[in-house]
Every structure is written in structure tokens, then in C-alpha cells.
Amino acid sequence: MKVYRAGRAPRGNQIRLGGVALTAAALAVAVGGGGGSANAAASAGAHVTKAAPTSATFAEPPNSPPYYIFPLTPLTNYNGNNDSEFQFLIYRPLYWFGNNGTPDFNAQLSLANAPTYTNGGRTAVVKLKPYKWSDGHAITSRDVVFWMNLLRVAKNNWAGYVPGEFPDNVTSVKAEGPTKIAFTFNRVYNHQWVLYNELSQITPMPQHLWDKTSATGPVGNQDMTPAGAKQVYHFLLKQGNELSTYATNPLWKVVSGPWKIRSFDTSNRVTLVPNTAYSGPIKPVLKQFNLVPFTSDAAEYNVLRSGGVDYGYIPSQDASQIPLLKSSGYAVASSPTWSINYTVLNFNNPVAGPIFKQLYIRQAMQELIDQATWVRVALNGFGGQTHGPVPTDPPNAFASTLVKNGVYPYSPSKAVALLKTHGWTVRPNGVSTCAKPGTGPTECGRGVAAGAALKFTFEYANGISSLALGVQAMASNFMKAGIKLNLVPEPLDTVNAHEVRCTPSQSKCGWQLIQGDLAWTFQPDYYPEGSLIFASRGASNAGGYSDPTADKLIKATHISTSPQAMTSYENYLARQLPVLWTPKPDSIVAVSDKWTNTQPNDPFGQLYPEDWRPAR
């Protein structure tokens, strides 16, 4: 899913609710550690040992705080940061991914053992580990079936839904005892894809507490009928939208993860405390974990530099300050994320859509994006280029040679030649226009009228200096071929509200190009195929890109275990340009040297505060 990693996620569906810039003074209370009595003793001349810190503070990405608790997250509420930095801390997914800096399956932190297969490979059998809810009830197969029953009636509202895929391709879900669940699919699929992109999306929910249709209603088995499941779902959905009750609602007090909510205020400042009944392998020693919001990366960096954050990020434009931060007591680590980055084109916009549908136009635009300079200047070298639909880093077995090297290197002269060859009058530093309408090989293409202008509105998220620098350079380079971009910086929630799937006649179809944030992270669909973002009916395919060949190649990655299936898919889309590929930033994390075991190299930006230990 599109996420912002200032140094992940989840695209186009993030919501910002009241983030505020914080000062160092406002954060001082979050550092913790019993310093008052020690200072008093020191002033009296006594020898004291400084108490180990007991609370820590985490800086949320700018304009992208955690804000949604119900684990069956609707598309309009989805934000990958919400998974990594909030929801996963309190409700553990069935399967965990991210292992020592790689995007691989993590058996130790999963609630279940890796699936085994029966029925000729069609049935995946999942065996739960002995985990418990925080109220002492065992996490059972019934909790998994409960999630599936609600998903079936709510799939069209679910962030992860792609028609024909999960749960459509599951013909039955059967609890075979309290710790075993059998998922039977409509055919034999690539078992790695089943684990990484199907079963990975499940989060067990406490059926013994949530299976009801009102706050005062009885808990039963309402989810076992479609009508009852709908009622339960809408009740929980309504509760999930009431942020002011997150810390008090009895529903959210029973959790499976290592943390529980102590407070959740209207600015999205969150305080978590340990779930003392957590049955996972690593228990928290921190007494309190604070998540604090920011409106910009500059505001966050100022607080980080003052020592008001224990775990924060360094914006790319401030990378030159890394030595200063290290001398101030921070350990700094940079690492790539399991992501790709791109600008979305609205193929259904009534004015720009017919132009964007011409492959040669997309090729020319791609050849005007100087990714190498973007990485070197805007990202200060902390980033990597995107050349296709599969990440090239961290190093992995999925990326093809073509995608690693790129298909359309920066070349304004080639871009100009392409446009001229296809009937455009090119006006560098002006606006190029279609001089030869028609569908012939030297004409502008179907639907492009005479006089059509290469002039587009480009919306992007404000508050991220490196993104602003990148898109400004992009606009300057586009002018070399007479393509004028009207840059419109907007708050992230505004950009996300605009970036929606539409038809040409709809008023909401006015957007043309959007760069909402900084990376599509493959999470919680970890296998890097493009169902959600590039399939014709993908839930996050806001631009409306549709190509039957691409759809066929995507489906092939779900079925075939041959590496060639992935190679064919990624090479095709690298050439076809369903979007414009842009650089992605590395994660640059600064962690106070008061702490060890903080895992700042997780490729999904996931947090592990239960691992944190005071440095000795």
C-alpha cells in the first residue's frame, strides 16, 4: 500500500486528521526516566546511578499520523503508516513480514505456522500458535473465520480488494478444530503468492467480544449469516470512525499485540502502554511509547535536533546534518524500503486522458524525468531510481535486468523527436500542440484533437521539501519539450481526496497528474505484483490504467512458480508505463543512543518498540 516513509508504505487514500507541529518543550515530558530524584541527589553531592529511561517518543511522518483502528480497513481510510506504526502494534496480523532488513516472511513473529497444502495444492492449512487475547481468551480459528465472514460482506469497501482475488478466489474457509483453519481456493495458485499476498492480509479479530450488532447487544454468532455479518461489520465500522473513543471503548481494550492504547487525542498524539498479557516471543520493557504528529518534515527535524524525539527520521534535504546528529547522541541508519515510486496519470480525465493514452506521450514524459539528478540533489543521494513495477532494492530475486537498468533514460532530445514524429509542433519553453490529428503512425493519436495542448495540472503533497524539489525540477525539464506542468502543492489529505478512480463525465475527474507522497510499499500484499495498482479493476488503480495484456501477465504471477512469469510482467509494464516512474527515498532513521534493538532497517518502516532496551 501507499505510504510515506521520510525516510512505505500503501497511495491515494491517506487521511490526515488534525496533525500539529510540536516543539521540543512540548515533547520534553515524553522522554521519561525518573530524573527528578537523581538531580536532587546530585545537587546534594550524593553519588547516584542514572535511572534507565522508561518511556520513548516516536515521530510520525508529516501529515500522515495513525488514525484508524478497525483491522478491516476501508479503502478511504487506508494509510500504510497506520499499519506499520499503529494498528500492527495492537492487533497482530496472522503472518508477519520483515526479517532483519529483508521483506521476507518472519516465522517467529507470526501468529501461525507457515501454511501446509493438501487437496493437490488447492487447500492451504493454517495452524495457529498458542497466542492469547489480552483478556486471557485464546486466539482461535473462530477469530480467523470471523474476520473472513466480515470480509466477504464488506469486500467492496475493503482497502485490499481486487475483484477475482481474495476473498473471491476462496471457495471455503473451514475451522478444523480450535487451532486449524483450511482455506480452499478455486484452483492451485503459486504458494508463495498465497502466503505473501492472500493469507498475509488476514488479521484475527476477537469474535468473543466483537460479534455483535450494537454496543449493548449480546455477543453471538451473527457473522455466520451474510445478513448478520453485515450488521456486525457496520457496527464495528461506525465504532472505528469514532477516534475520540479509541482509549475508552471496551472493544479496543482487548488486543493481540504487545501494546494497548492509553490515550488518543484529537491531534492524533497517541500514548501506548504494554499489553502485560502479550503472548509473543518478546515482551516490552518500556512503560510507555508515545507517537507524536507533525505537519512538516522541517518541524519534525527541528524537534529531533533538539533531542525531543527518541526515534525520528532525517528528511533527505537535511542529510548533511547527519554528523551533527551523531555527535548529539543519535545513531543514524539508512536503508531502502520495499517500494516503488511514481506519478499517477488520470487516463479518464476528459482533457488529458486521450493524450495520456498515447504510449509515445508517456515515453516522452518519462524521458524528461532526470531521476539520477533527482536522487543526487533532492534526496541528497539517499534514494534509488524506479524503472518498473518491482523494487530493485533491497536486493531481491524478483527484479529483472531490464527493470534494474531502466528502459527510458533521461533524454530531452529523444522526447522532442518522439513528439515531432507523432505530429506535434514542439515549442521548448512554451506549450507544444497537436498539428496532425489522426490515428496514423505520424499523427497525434486517437482522441487527440487538432490544437490539443501539452499543458497539465500536477498536484503534489506539500510539507515534504525533497518532493517539492523533485517535482519542480521535473516541471523544468518538461518545458524542454514544451510540456507545461502547473504545479499545485496541497495538503496530503486534499491530494488523496482528489486522486480517485472516475469516469470522464464525473466532476471528480478533474485531476490530471498527482504525486501524493513518496512510495508505494508492497504491504500487506508483499509479493510485488500489481493487482491493486495496475490491474484494470485494482482498488488502488486511481488513474484507470487498463490493458488486457497487463491483466493477463499479472494473473500469471499468481499461478506460475516460474521466475519468468514475474519477469514477463515487470518487463511489459516497464515498457508500457502505466504511470511515470520517479525516484523513491531511502529511510533515514535517527535513534537515540539511549536505546538498543530498535530495528531501524525494517523495509516496511514497521516499529518494534517491544524489542527496545535501554543501552547499558
Q: Which three cell numbers stand for residue 117?
A: 497444502
Helical segments of 161-288, H only: 191-193, 207-210, 226-240
Partnered with residue 99 across adjacent β-strands are 102
CATH number of the domain located at residue range(s) 92-241 in this protein: 3.90.76.10
The confidence score (pLDDT) of residue 3 equals 39
The confidence score (pLDDT) of residue 71 equals 95
Of 3.40.50.150, 3.40.190.10, 3.40.309.10, 2.60.120.10, the CATH number of 24-71+257-337+586-614 is 3.40.190.10
If we measure between CA atoms, which residue out of 126, 133, 86 comes closest to residue 110? Answer: 126
Residue 7 pLDDT grade (very low, low, confident, very high; cuts 50, 70, 90): very low
**Residue % of the chain over a pLDDT of 70:** 91
Residue 315 pLDDT grade (very low, low, confident, very high; cuts 50, 70, 90): confident
The confidence score (pLDDT) of residue 566 equals 97
Q: Which residue has the higher pLDDT, 499 or 24?
A: 499
Residue 519 pLDDT grade (very low, low, confident, very high; cuts 50, 70, 90): confident
In 479-567, beta strands by DSSP E: 484-490, 513-515, 520-521
SS in 3 state form for 110-123? Answer: CCECCCEEEHHHCE
SS3 (DSSP) at 270: strand
Instruction: Tell whether the model's pLDDT for residue 22 goes beyond 90.
Output: no
* pTM, full prediction: 0.85
The confidence score (pLDDT) of residue 517 equals 62
Among 12-26, 205-219, 535-549, the range scoring the smallest mean pLDDT is 12-26
The confidence score (pLDDT) of residue 2 equals 43
The confidence score (pLDDT) of residue 539 equals 82
Mean pLDDT of 431-457: 98
Decide if 554 contacts 534 (C-beta within 8 A). Answer: yes
> Given the C-alpha cell 490515428, which residue does it identify?
439
If we measure between CA atoms, which residue out of 264, 263, 257, 212 comes closest to residue 238? Answer: 212
Partnered with residue 457 across adjacent β-strands are 486
Instruction: Tell whether the model's pLDDT for residue 368 goes beyond 90.
Output: yes
Residue 65 pLDDT grade (very low, low, confident, very high; cuts 50, 70, 90): low
Among 20-24, 106-110, 300-304, 522-526, the range scoring the smallest mean pLDDT is 20-24
The confidence score (pLDDT) of residue 295 equals 83
Mean pLDDT of 313-329: 90
Decide if 496 contacts 78 (C-beta within 8 A). Answer: no
Q: What is the pLDDT of residues 497-510, one digit of tens each?
A: 899 999 999 999 99
Instruction: Tell whether the model's pLDDT for residue 536 goes beyond 50.
Output: yes
Decide if 442 contacts 423 (C-beta within 8 A). Answer: yes
Residue 306 pLDDT grade (very low, low, confident, very high; cuts 50, 70, 90): very high
Instruction: Tell whether the model's pLDDT for residue 170 goes beyond 70.
Output: yes
Q: Please, what is the average pLDDT of the chain?
A: 89
The whole-angstrom separation of Cα 530 and Cα 571 is 12
The confidence score (pLDDT) of residue 550 equals 98
Mean pLDDT of 550-554: 97
Mean pLDDT of 484-501: 90
Mean pLDDT of 401-413: 97
Residue 67 pLDDT grade (very low, low, confident, very high; cuts 50, 70, 90): confident
Q: Which three cell numbers stand for residue 159?
A: 482497502
Q: Which three cell numbers stand for residue 278?
A: 502479550
Q: In the chain, what is the straight-line distance between the N-terminal and C-terminal CA atoms, in Å?
A: 38
CATH number of the domain located at residue range(s) 339-585 in this protein: 3.10.105.10
Mean pLDDT of 435-453: 97
Mean pLDDT of 220-234: 98
User: To which H or E segment does residue 116 belong?
Assistant: strand 116-118
Which whole-number Å values give the CA distances from 385 to 160, 244, 342, 373, 391, in the listed order? 26, 41, 10, 10, 9
The whole-angstrom separation of Cα 544 and Cα 50 is 59
Q: What is the pLDDT of residues 74-118, one digit of tens each?
A: 887 887 788 889 999 999 999 999 998 889 999 999 999 999 999
**Residue % of the chain over a pLDDT of 90:** 77
Partnered with residue 173 across adjacent β-strands are 183
Instruction: Tell whether the model's pLDDT for residue 31 goes beyond 60.
Output: no
Instruction: Tell whether the model's pLDDT for residue 133 goes beyond 90.
Output: yes
The confidence score (pLDDT) of residue 50 equals 62
The whole-angstrom separation of Cα 271 and Cα 265 is 9
The confidence score (pLDDT) of residue 28 equals 32
The residue extents of the domains of the chain are 24-71+257-337+586-614, 92-241, 339-585
The confidence score (pLDDT) of residue 66 equals 63
The confidence score (pLDDT) of residue 549 equals 98
Q: What is the pLDDT of residues 142-167, one digit of tens each?
A: 999 999 999 999 999 998 888 899 99
